[in-house]
Amino acid sequence: MQDLPDISPLLVALNSAQKDAVTAPPEHRLVLAGAGSGKTRVLVHRIAWLIAVENVSPLSILAVTFTNKAASEMRARIEQLVTAPIRSMWVGTFHGIAHRMLRLHWKQAGLPQNFQILDADDQFRLVKRTLKALDMSDEQWPPRAVTGWINAQKEEARRPRDLVDLGDYTQRQYLRAYTAYEASCAQSGLVDFAELLLRAYELSRDDEQIQAHYRRRFGHILVDEFQDTNTLQYAWLRTLAGDSGTMFAVGDDDQSIYSWRGARVENMVRMEHDFPGTEVVRLEQNYRSTGTILKAANGLIARNTNRLGKNLWTDVGDGEAIQLYAAFNEYDEAEFVAGRLREHLDGRCRHADLAILYRSNAQSRVLEEILIRARIPYRIYGGLRFFERQEIKDALAYLRLLHNRHDDSSFERAVNTPARGIGATTMDRLRHIARASEVSLWTAARNAAGQLGRSGANVGRFVQFIEDLHAQTAGQALSAVTEQVIARSGLREHFRKVAGSGAGSGRGDQAEGRLENLDELVSAARSFESDASARPAAEDPDMPVLDPLTAFLTHAALEAGEEQAGPGEDCVQLMTLHAAKGLEFPVVFIVGVENGLFPSMRAVDEGNLEEERRLFYVGITRARRRLYLSYAELRRVHGVEQIGAPSLFLKEVPPECVMETRPRTGVLRPAFGTREPQGAYGRGSGLTPGAAARRTAAGRDHGPGGFRLGQRVQHAKFGEGTILGFDGDGDRAQIEVRFRDAGVKRLMLGFANLRGM
Ligand code: ATP
Ligand code: MG
């Protein structure tokens, strides 16, 4: 008798609906279920089941995840479940998979073998330069808008030739920009993020051999977070599946949060139509959160009208109430978070079990400041990534130019960084020559340095420098090449000078950091040279072996830095709500739950609250045991202090789930005539008439002595602090200040000798 595989580990900890989905016969399936109901778990077990029980080769499986991190976690979890080697299985993000396909079939895709990836910032700069070359002014044709438009066209699979001329002037100009931008990408061998997907899609659609190959190969396509696929990704999946591949998609319409990037939640409905016989599976038991957290999430999302409708329940009990903290300002809010973090850390929580989520990246700065001061290690997930930093991109531009001289974007960046006496006029002339003779900037510079006037000699020297660098570093290890680039280009010297000149000032510190980052880049390069197995791409035998430089540059553009710090360290996790999708943490803080911030001003203006509400739903449902929400009454936004009202979403959370915490200072809190006078839930805001009267018409809160609530002040003995409140008037006026090091103090205003900052 044939040995049957032991299937028990594949089905352990699955409820019956989950088991049905995992073990179903190979037909199209859409698992439509709420947060924390085990969708990702079902997807992982399904893959393991296909391999272990249905004897499907890992080669026939294509699994699409939302981040690279999710992909490697998925791989690791499947490895625990099956004995078969799964190295050859394609698991990755849409971009990662598209990139892999284009590296394999670069010729058929019409790309040079050494094509490079243009990240969002590079793309923006290139569009800007393109507009300039077309004499389209920034004021009339904002480069951001044009970039967004081009990407939107690509996401709908529209090339310039597919766009019908509507005789409309604006559209014609956009089209002109799109066409010219495409031409410069082609000339430089550059591919932006949207282009990766579009090329891979066109390749699978138009090249019959490739199409047949992948349709034969991928019998099983599995997609996580399906609600956030865009039109192009969906079309690509359809093309790859053909009539023979089966689709297994999992998603939650209530967690669709990327419509601003082209995601189409309708794909969930379209799937039932486009993949005949799709069976829809619903999972209703939530295994992640406490009853209270789930009730809050359910109550909130019920306010949305546009839903496919789901019900979630749990049997783990209510757990603790959600804590809501009304902070004076963003510093007070951050202090609150730090205080609670410390309690949890003292209570044996790991740092990594604690997450702070926010609506906008800019909110992390104050949190970081307070966490550093509190000596709590943290990591920002998906902030400004290492490879997106200015100094790193400067150094990479040289590496890219060594790799491909016709990469105009890199030429533009490297040629005058650090300054080499090549002015704007010279560059304009050079661009003009390049355009007129349809060659790259490099070629133009080499041939025409003599026609560029006085600074032409500097251009000539730059060309010579790159050639020499190339000759001298040929055959050297990647880290050595990187080191030479940093040293000989003058980049290190440049940042050293800045660091030296601005000692003590912010600028000097920043330059110090940049020098460290440049050193870090050399170490990063080292990890790409000797041991090929350490390279991310190497786990896939189908992936052509890239030379270390290409592998490194690709990693820099595509796979790098979803996590900022090195792995392994136990850190509190900071990230935007968008980046938190799919993740879970025992303890979650959502900060800045204020109107204008969350929901964002833009969403309020556009009346598009449903997506913001879904984002809040995503945030709440990340929490397993404890959830903290906070808002600040005063917040500095772009340098201007603004008064915040608690988010309208807070009122949509069932009040019995929430416990409002008041600041521990005991000071009487002023309230705002223009906003909720009674806190988010109308419980004791401690308003005094005097305090209310001190509000000016502009809504600002002025205390005695010309101080403002939330203002930063300096005290001779206690140092720096933040004003938390005022009490009394005239001679007896007191002021309450939270000092950075000395804690909260109540001082007689007349004697305190405070200096405003
Ligand atoms: P999201 O919508 O946030 O992506 P999800 O539906 O993908 O959530 P999972 O992350 O797969 O949910 O599961 C949530 C948590 O519940 C995980 O910790 C998972 O291990 C656990 N879980 C799922 N199903 C079960 C089960 N049957 N028994 C025990 N734990 C389970
Ligand atoms: Mg999931």
**H/E element, 618:** helix 609-620
CB of 659 within 8 A of CB of 321?
yes
Residue 712, pLDDT score: 83
Q: How far is the CA of 397 from the centre of ligand 1 (A)?
A: 43
| CA-proximal residue: ligand 1, atom 15 (nearest) | 288
Q: Is the pLDDT of residue 637 over 80?
A: no
State the pLDDT at residue 538: 41
From the CA of 601, how far away is ligand 2's center (Å)?
A: 29
- 359 C-alpha vs ligand 2 centroid, how far in Å? 20
Torsion on CA atoms 729, 734, 737, 742, rounded to nearest 10: 170
Residue nearest to atom 1 of ligand 1 (CA): 35
Mean pLDDT of 406-417: 92
For residue 148, report the distance from its CA to the centre of ligand 1, in Å.
Answer: 35
Cis peptide before 418 (omega within 30 of 0): yes
Give nearest CA residue, ligand 1 atom 19: 38
**Ligand 1 within 6 A of 18 CB?**
yes
Distances (CA, A) of 314 to 77, 233, 282, 664, 725: 24, 34, 15, 34, 43
Nearest to 40, CA basis, from 585, 584, 612 = 584
- Using CA atoms, how far apart are residues 307 and 315, in angstroms rounded to an integer? 24
Q: Between residues 3 and 469, which one has the greater pLDDT?
A: 469
As a whole-number percent, the residues of the chain with pLDDT over 90 amount to 56
Ligand closest to 257 (CA) is 1
Query: Which residues are identified as catalytic?
Result: 39-40, 224-225, 255, 622
Residue 396: CB atoms within 10 Å: 24
| Ligand 1 nearest-atom number relative to CA 287 | 16
SS3 assignment for 635-698: EEECCEEEECCECHHHHHCCHHHEEEECCCCCCCCCCCCCCCCCCCCCCCCCCCHHHHHCECCC
pLDDT score of 713:
86
Predicted local confidence at residue 701, as pLDDT: 52
- Whether cis (ω within 30° of 0) applies to the bond prior to 143 is no
Ligand 1 atom with minimal separation from the 255 CA: 2
Confidence tier at 687 by pLDDT (50, 70, 90): very low
Evaluate: CB of 252 within 6 angstroms of ligand 1: yes
Please give the pLDDT value at position 4: 59
Give nearest CA residue, ligand 1 atom 23. 38
The predicted pLDDT at position 373 comes to 86
The residue nearest atom 13 of ligand 1, judged by CA position, is: 38
Ligand 1 atom closest to Cα of 41? 11
Confidence of residue 580 (pLDDT cuts 50, 70, 90): very high
Confidence at 558, pLDDT banded by 50, 70, 90: confident
Q: Which ligand is nearest to the CA of 252?
A: 1
363-366: long-range contacts (C-beta < 8 A, 24 or more apart)? 363/330, 363/591, 363/592, 363/597, 364/574, 366/330, 366/331, 366/333, 366/334
Is residue 363 within 8 A of residue 592, CB to CB? The reply is yes
The pLDDT score that the predictor gives to residue 489 is 94
φ/ψ of 30, rounded to 5, equals -125, 115
Q: How far apart are CA 633 and CA 389, in angstroms?
A: 33
Residue 703 has pLDDT above 80, yes or no: no
pLDDT value, residue 556: 78
Q: Is the CB of 124 under 6 A from ligand 1?
A: no
CA of 624 to the centre of ligand 2 (A): 14
Any ligand 1 atom below 6 A from CB of 13:
yes
Give tens-digit pLDDT for 53-91: 999 999 999 999 988 888 988 999 999 999 888 988 999
Count other Cβ atoms within 10 Å, centred on residue 674: 12
582 lines ligand 1 (CB under 6 A): yes
Range of weakest confidence among 43-47, 220-224, 557-561? 557-561
CB-based burial, 98-127: b 16+ in 10 Å, e otherwise: bbbbbbebbeebebeebbbbbbeebbbbbb
State the pLDDT confidence band at 677, using cuts at 50, 70 and 90: very low
User: Is the pLDDT at 726 greater than 80, yes or no?
Assistant: no
Q: Which tens digit of pLDDT belongs to each residue from 596-629?
A: 899 988 888 888 899 999 999 999 999 999 999 9
Using alpha carbons, select from 697, 592, 577, 721 the residue that is nearest to residue 646: 592
Mutate to test the pocket of ligand 1, among 74, 77, 288, 618 (most ligand atoms within 8 A of CB): 288
Within a 13 Å sphere around the CA of 554, how many CA atoms are in the beta-carbon half?
25
> Is the distance from the beta carbon of residue 39 to the nearest atom of ligand 1 less than 6 Å?
yes
Dump the DSSP string for 181-192. Answer: HHHHHHHHTEEE
pLDDT at position 694 is 33
Residue scoring higher pLDDT (104 or 524):
104
Across 330-350, average pLDDT: 94
Q: Give pLDDT, residue 553.
A: 83
- Ligand 1 contacts CB of residue 37 (under 6 A): yes
Query: What does the alpha-carbon distance between residue 366 and residue 385 come to, in Å, rounded to a whole number?
Result: 18
pLDDT of residue 716: 84
Residue range 368-376: mean pLDDT, rounded: 88
Residue 563: per-residue pLDDT: 47
What DSSP string runs through 432-495? HHHHHTT--HHHHHHHHGGGG-TTHHHHHHHHHHHHHHHHHHTT--HHHHHHHHHHHTSHHHHH
Ligand 1: which of 15, 64, 287, 315 to mutate, most ligand atoms within 8 Å of CB?
287
Answer yes or no: is the C-beta of 417 below 6 A from any ligand 1 atom.
Answer: no
CA of 41 from ligand 2 middle (Å) equals: 7
Q: Is 251 in the pocket of ligand 1 (CB under 6 A)?
A: no
Confidence of residue 225 (pLDDT cuts 50, 70, 90): very high
Q: How far does the centroid of ligand 2 lie from the alpha carbon of residue 38, in Å?
A: 7
CA distances to 134, 148, 296 from 180, rounded to whole Å, are: 8, 15, 51
Per-residue confidence (pLDDT) for residue 565, from 0 to 100: 45
Place of tokens 């078969």: 84
**What's the confidence (pLDDT) of residue 743?**
73
- Per-residue pLDDT at 238 exceeds 70: yes
Regarding the beta carbon of 15 and ligand 1, being less than 6 Å apart is answered yes
41 C-beta closer than 6 A to ligand 1: yes
Tokens of 156: 């709908």
Binding site membership of 646 for ligand 1 (Cβ less than 6 Å): no
Looking at the predicted structure, is the pLDDT value of residue 567 above 80? no
Give dist(CA 637, CA 592) in Å, integer: 12
Q: Is the pLDDT of residue 326 over 90?
A: yes
3-class secondary structure, 278:
coil
Lowest mean pLDDT among 186-200, 266-280, 354-368, 493-507: 493-507
Q: How far is the CA of 390 from the centre of ligand 1 (A)?
A: 39
pLDDT in tens, 383-404: 556 777 788 889 999 999 999 9
Distance 576 CA to ligand 2 centre (A): 17
18, 40, 253, 614, best to mutate for ligand 1 pocket (most atoms within 8 Å of CB): 40
Q: Whose CA is nearest to atom 18 of ligand 1?
A: 288
